Each structure stands twice: as structure tokens, then as C-alpha cells.
Amino acid sequence: MPHNPAPLHADTAAKPAPKSATDKALEKLGLTRDIDLALHLPLRYEDETRITKLDSAREGDTIQIEATVTQCDVSYRPRKQLVVTVNDGTDTCVLRFFNFYPSQQKALEVGNRIRARGELKGGFMGWTMLHPAFRGATGDLPKALTPIYPTVAGLSQPVLRKAVLAGLARADLSDTFEPGDLDALDKRIGSHVLWTLRAALLFLHHPTPDVSLETLQDHTHPAWQRLKAEELLAQQLSQLQSRRARAALRAPVLAEVHGGTLHDRLLAALPFALTNAQRKVSAEIAHDMARPVPMHRLLQGDVGAGKTVVAALAAAICMDAGWQCALMAPTEILAEQHFRKLLGWLEPLGITTAWLTGTQKAKDRRTMLALIESGEAQLVVGTHAIIQEKVHFKNLALAVIDEQHRFGVAQRLALRNKLRHEAMEPHLLMMTATPIPRTLAMSYYADLDVSTLDELPPGRTPIITKVVNEARRHEVIERIHAQIDQGRQVYWVCPLIEESEVLDLSNATATHAELSAELDGGAPAVPGAPSKVGLLHSRMPPDEKKAVMAAFIQGKTAVLVSTTVIEVGVDVPNASLMVIDHAERFGLSQLHQLRGRVGRGAAASACVLLYSTGDAPRLSETARERLKAMVETNDGFEIARRDLEIRGPGEFLGARQSGEAMLRFANLAEDTALLDWARAEAPKMLDRHPALAVKHVQRWLGSKAEYLKA
């Protein structure tokens, strides 16, 4: 009988080979595919293609020398160091290493011929280089600049260069364009040479020494332009694929009915007339919801433009048709603000509204869940608690997400998945008080229909913005005294809750104590005017937060000292002064959001940006630009444009991309011409060459394309 060896244990057979330290380091950089390695481009370059003689060098130059070691000693004064003297035949230079290994000491023995590259410094004792890069002076000089790549701990440049070279050799770098399309692209980037993807990548990894370093560093070289165009095209294709895929889905048809409907009764009951912008946007939303495909619309409008009433009118159409609507906000304060407004408008019209947050008592929560599941609650307002598994809607047809950039991809998808009715999806209306600059709307939001409220309701007073040095803090407090004496209310916003050893900032608790001592000492000039100072921050218990906010809204508190939890959603028309402490620490968009908490009534309103330079002689250039923009304009769209220039797209996108930077090379502020080309090219490519389009998206985005679909 032949011997049959026992089969290998299933677990043993299935075990993958352990990953090397290099593989793990490459994974940290996101370099898991050959194309990822090929697209991992240098941060900068070193010129090792030429040798500079010491007698012709200048102090401060970064040069490469070829020289013989004449002396190599370990010195202990003032600290342990390796001191190596070399001579290139024209002069000598001392190389100093404070961290060194025996292998390096051996490579620098007397008599060895080496090439060393570093910054040349002069001094009483002659030329020196501190920690230069060096190697043996063997072989020909390189013909191309040496790339320096972004890396992580444990992954040296030589190992990373080897991995990138291997990835370049293995990756499929065939062009995804037809020849005619390539000609059009080369004309767009102003190149007289046909830059294929392969040629562009090979050049950027190993550029020739005659190239202008400036064009490499500022990404204006035609090879860089080719890559940026391809990247933007991948993004546009991904967005277009997402839009077309959604067009194949089904959603409830919520046709607007006129005459005695909830929508008409709500319009008639509103204590104000809609602006032209609100009427236009409401019509766009109504048109979308009447179609059998899911609406995917972004409603953008400056602070106070009236987005909530537009959402209420959309909800009324939904409820008129016999379906449920949900509104989700990122914070309990903002959710409660919406709840109070909607309740005030809709409860008299017979609408049952459910309130759902994570801090509710169990009994209240069970009651709300039952109302939602039975369909008795036609409108549901709350925080992310709305998307939890235990929440079952009877027939959700419209999901409204406020301040949508604060929610992650998974959270938005979870709300869309709450409709389990004949494979349909709810209509989705996303709202933001951070206006989206045109280039951002064209790129990251290209899969959305965008509606814009570009008109403020009448009665909003212009806000005067002043920049004030911390040294004049006492003047600001005097201004607060005057506001309180007139029966007005004040916000004072602080960036921290408690002292930080790293940031020397005033904290909310200390400021509350300071203002209480200053303002609660005497009786107000106007009898019955509020005089107390309230404190609000994110670490307070929910009930305490509600009590503080209620006191301020009801006018029982004159000054509200707060962290940025009041950035959105708080509407107190009697508040006429906003003080932002350490304004230099806030982003421009956040400053504008905070400023929008005042000027909501008829009284003249002001925003004081209180800044401190700390130990520095002056503010940073970025901080100065932010504060200057705040003084120069109240226009949220202009603020958004400047913020994009100063900070890039991250602040606008928030969690839309789940923290992933979807554009590595293209710059939306500078590459609008390439973006225009990509927008025009994407539909043509998807229609004419769908297989190439899929290949192009996969090459550039891989799994990241999924982030754009939420």
C-alpha cells in the first residue's frame, strides 16, 4: 500500500506569508499596488550628477564633492562625534557626524575616496559639512537628479527608491486615451511634446539635470500637468459614474399637489414671505422629488439665508404624499434648533414630529421609536441617533442632512438605507451653511445637483467686523457693558475649555469667571434687563446645556461664554455683539459661521476678532489673511473662495472623503483650465470608451472612488 501523508491542516495551508517590515511600511504610505508605487512622486530632488570643486564653491551652497579622506577621528568635545577631514585637490573640508555607526566609520577610513553631498559652511577653521550624505567614489555619476520621496519611519530612501523602480517596471502604464484625445490634452497643457503617462512618470521620477527645478517644484512642468489632468479626469469620471448609477435607482414619486395641501397651508401660515431665492430653490427640489429617481441635491446658503424653511416645505410635499421625512443634524443644539422651528410651523397644522437623540431617557426613546415605526410620526428630527439599527421607519421618502460635511460616509449611507420598500432609496437633501466655491462644486461635488440661496431675508442687518489686539481687552468688556445697558445680548467664544500646556489660550471657564466678576457687580441701567453670564461647552451634561441655552434664548442671560458649540443653529435675534477670543486660532470658514450668530435682528450688530500674537512679534501670514478677509467681506461665497485659497479643500469636504485626500497632485485654485477639460472629457470618454474609463478610474482612485458616492 502506498503511503498517503496526512493532509496539511487547513489553517496551516491558508496562512499567508508574513509581511516584511518594508511591506508594512509601504502599506502605511498606501503603496499596495504597482501603480501606487509608480504614482508615488518625489517631494524634491538632489543633484548628484555633477562634482563641485571646493575652491569654486560658495558658503551656503548644497554641493557634491569628490575627495580623499585624510583624517578620521572620534572626538568627545563638546560631545561625541565623528570628525572626518577630506581633500579634493583644491581645498579641504571637515565632515561632522553626531550620529554614526561602525560601518560608516569604516567607509570613511583614511585613504578612501568618497563623494559627499551637503550644505557647505565656512568658518575660522575652513569648510565644514554637517551630516552629509556620502558614498564611495566608484562608477559613473548619475545621469538624472536623485529623487527624495515622502516616507515613514523604518523605510529608507534607497529601499523606497528600489520599490518605486520595481513598481514602475511592473505597472501597466498604457495610456487610457485615444490618440486624438491625447493631442487635445497636450494642446491644453501647452506642450509641444507628446507626454504619455509612462514618459511623464519616468521623467518625474528621474528628471534630467538641465530641467528647471522651479517647474518641478511648482508643478507647472508639462509632465506634472499631464498627471494632474489625468487625476482630475479620474475624479470627474468617478463622479459621473456615481451620478449615472443613481439615475438607474428608484425613489418614491412625491408629486406636489396644489390647493388646501399641507404645503400650501404651511406657506400661508409662515410669519414671513419667502425670498425669490427660496422660491426658486424650493421649485428645484419639488421638481426633483416628483421624479422616480432619487434626488441627490446639495442646498447651500450663507448663514441665515433660510435653509430650514426650504427643508420644511420639501418635507410638507413628502408628507402630503403620505410618506415620512427625517432631518439629521450633527449636534444636539442644532437638531433642537430645527426641532423647535419645525414644531412651531407644523404642529398647528396637525403634523406629529418625533425627537430622537442619543441622550434621551429610555422611556421617551421607546415612545418615539414606536411613533416612527407606526408612521404616526410623519417627521423625525434628531442627531445621528436617527440612523441606529433600532430605528425603523414605516416609509421614509425624504432624508435631510444638515451641515452634511460633518457626517462620515457610513453615516450618510445608513440614513439612505432606512427605506426598505420595493428596492427604493429615499430622496436626499443635504444642506450646508459653508458656501461651496465653484471649483470645489465642479470637482468634489460634481455628482450632486447644487441649489444656492444667494439672497438673505429682509431685516438682516449688516455686521461690522473689527480686529482688536488682546491688549485692548478692557475696551471690549466696556463695549459689552454698553450693550447690556441697552438690553442687548452678547456671545463670547473661546477656543478651549481648559488650560493647555501647549497653547497659551484663554479658556471658557476662566473667561466666564472674569466676565462674571466684571459684569455681575452692578445693576443694569435698564430695569429688568438680563445681567448674568452663562457658560456653555461640549463637556457639560445635556440637561445643563439645554438650561443654559434656554436662559440665553429667553433673555435671562446677557452674555453667553461658549466654545464653538454655538457655531451653527443658534438663533437669538436680540444678540448684537459677538466676541471671538484668540480669533487667530480659528479657520476662516469657522469665523464666518460664528459671526453669523449675530445680526439676526433689527439692531446694529458687530463682531470683534480678539487676537494675540503670544511670544511672536506678529501674527502669521495665514492668520493675517484670515482676519483681513473677515473685515473686508460679509459675503459667505467670497469667504469660501478665500478659505479655499488659504487652507485647501479639506475644511469644506470634512468627512465626505472619510479623511482621504482625493486629489494628490491637482490644485483646484490653480488648475481650473485642466478641471474644465476634465469635465468636458469625462462624459465623452464614458460614452465612447467605457472600458478605458473604468480602467482609468481604477488606476487613479482604486477603492477611494467609493467615498465619492456618499
For the chain, the domains span 1-44+163-248+684-710, 50-141, 262-453, 463-633
The rounded distance, in Å, linking the Cα atoms of 87 and 93 is: 7
Range of 195-199, 252-256, 607-611 with top mean pLDDT: 607-611
Judged by average pLDDT, the poorest of 59-73, 319-333, 401-415, 600-614 is: 401-415
The answer to whether 512 and 535 have CB atoms below 8 angstroms apart is: yes
Architecture of domain 463-633: 3-Layer(aba) Sandwich (3.40)
Amino acid (one-letter) located at 709 = K
**Cα angle vertex 348, ends 600, 400, to 5°?**
60
The answer to whether 302 and 636 have CB atoms below 8 angstroms apart is: yes
Asked whether the predicted pLDDT for residue 8 surpasses 50, the reply is no
The answer to whether 45 and 147 have CB atoms below 8 angstroms apart is: yes
Query: Running DSSP on this structure, what letter comes out for residue 457?
Result: P
The answer to whether 207 and 144 have CB atoms below 8 angstroms apart is: yes
Judged by average pLDDT, the poorest of 427-431, 533-537, 617-621, 649-653 is: 649-653
The answer to whether 381 and 292 have CB atoms below 8 angstroms apart is: no
The CATH homologous superfamily to which domain 262-453 belongs is P-loop containing nucleotide triphosphate hydrolases (3.40.50.300)
**Cα angle vertex 102, ends 97, 106, to 5°?**
90
Amino acid (one-letter) located at 272 = F
The rounded distance, in Å, linking the Cα atoms of 261 and 286 is: 14
Judged by average pLDDT, the poorest of 104-113, 256-265, 306-315 is: 256-265
Q: Where in 285-418 does DSSP place strands (E)?
A: 296-301, 324-328, 353-356, 379-382, 396-402
Phi, psi dihedral angles at 53 (to 5 degrees)? -80, 140
C-alpha cell at 166: 520595481
Query: Options 2.40.50.140, 3.30.750.24, 3.30.1060.10, 2.60.200.20; which CATH number does 50-141 get?
Result: 2.40.50.140
Asked whether the predicted pLDDT for residue 92 surpasses 80, the reply is yes
Residues 301-329: tens digit of each pLDDT: 877 788 999 999 999 999 999 999 999 98
The answer to whether 76 and 27 have CB atoms below 8 angstroms apart is: no
**What's the average model confidence in pLDDT over 652-681?**
70
The answer to whether 221 and 199 have CB atoms below 8 angstroms apart is: no
Question: 584's torsion region: left (phi>0), alpha (psi -120 to 50) or beta?
Answer: alpha
Residues 127-137: tens digit of each pLDDT: 999 999 999 99
Query: Running DSSP on this structure, what letter comes out for residue 9?
Result: P
Which residue, among 700, 695, 648, 574, has the nearest Cα to 177 in the 3D structure? 695
Label residue 641 by pLDDT band (50, 70, 90). Answer: confident
Asked whether the predicted pLDDT for residue 9 surpasses 50, the reply is no
The DSSP H or E segment spanning 560 is: strand 557-562
Do the two domains 50-141 and 463-633 of this chain adopt the same fold?
Answer: no
Q: Give percent of the chain above pLDDT 70.
A: 85
| Mean confidence (pLDDT) of the chain | 84
C-alpha cell at 290: 416628483
The rounded distance, in Å, linking the Cα atoms of 108 and 113 is: 8
Which residues 6+ apart lie within 8 Å of 339 measured at CB? 353, 355, 381, 382
Label residue 14 by pLDDT band (50, 70, 90). Answer: low
Label residue 602 by pLDDT band (50, 70, 90). Answer: confident
The rounded distance, in Å, linking the Cα atoms of 340 and 391 is: 22
Query: Running DSSP on this structure, what letter comes out for residue 702?
Result: G
Strands 463-469 and 557-562: unpaired
Q: Where in 302-417 does DSSP place strands (E)?
A: 324-328, 353-356, 379-382, 396-402
Which residue, among 710, 688, 681, has the nearest Cα to 233 in the 3D structure? 681
Whole-angstrom CA distances from 431 to 318, 406, 412, 448 are 17, 11, 13, 12
Query: Running DSSP on this structure, what letter comes out for residue 496?
Result: B
Residues 530-548: tens digit of each pLDDT: 558 998 887 788 788 888 8
The rounded distance, in Å, linking the Cα atoms of 587 and 629 is: 11
More confident position, 174 or 642: 174
Residues 573-600: tens digit of each pLDDT: 889 999 999 999 888 878 888 888 888 7
Whole-angstrom CA distances from 329 to 107, 383, 481, 553 are 64, 5, 35, 20
Query: Running DSSP on this structure, what letter comes out for residue 211?
Result: S
> For residue 202, how far is the Cα from the chain centroid?
31
More confident position, 429 or 17: 429
Residues 211-255: tens digit of each pLDDT: 988 888 888 898 999 999 999 999 899 889 888 888 888 999 998
Amino acid (one-letter) located at 510 = A
**3-class DSSP assignment, residue 202:** helix
Which residue, among 281, 282, 292, 295, has the nearest Cα to 255 in the 3D structure? 292
Phi, psi dihedral angles at 516 (to 5 degrees)? -60, -45
**What's the average model confidence in pLDDT over 275-289?**
95
Asked whether the predicted pLDDT for residue 466 surpasses 90, the reply is yes
More confident position, 62 or 521: 62
The rounded distance, in Å, linking the Cα atoms of 200 and 222 is: 8
Helices H / strands E in the chain, number of each: 25, 21
Asked whether the predicted pLDDT for residue 151 surpasses 50, the reply is yes
Amino acid (one-letter) located at 201 = L
**3-class DSSP assignment, residue 685:** helix
Query: Peptide bond before 457: cis, by omega within 30 degrees of 0?
Result: no
Q: Where in 423-462 does DSSP place strands (E)?
A: 427-432, 449-453
- HSE-up of 549 (CA within 13 Å, CB side)? 21
pTM of the model: 0.72
C-alpha cell at 476: 471690549
Query: Running DSSP on this structure, what letter comes out for residue 400?
Result: E
Judged by average pLDDT, the poorest of 280-294, 338-352, 515-529 is: 515-529
**3-class DSSP assignment, residue 210:** coil
Phi, psi dihedral angles at 87 (to 5 degrees)? -135, 125
Whole-angstrom CA distances from 669 to 443, 643, 662 are 12, 11, 15
Asked whether the predicted pLDDT for residue 62 surpasses 80, the reply is yes
Q: Exposed, middle or buried, 630 (CB in 10 Å: 0-12/13-18/19+)? A: buried
Phi, psi dihedral angles at 356 (to 5 degrees)? -140, 115
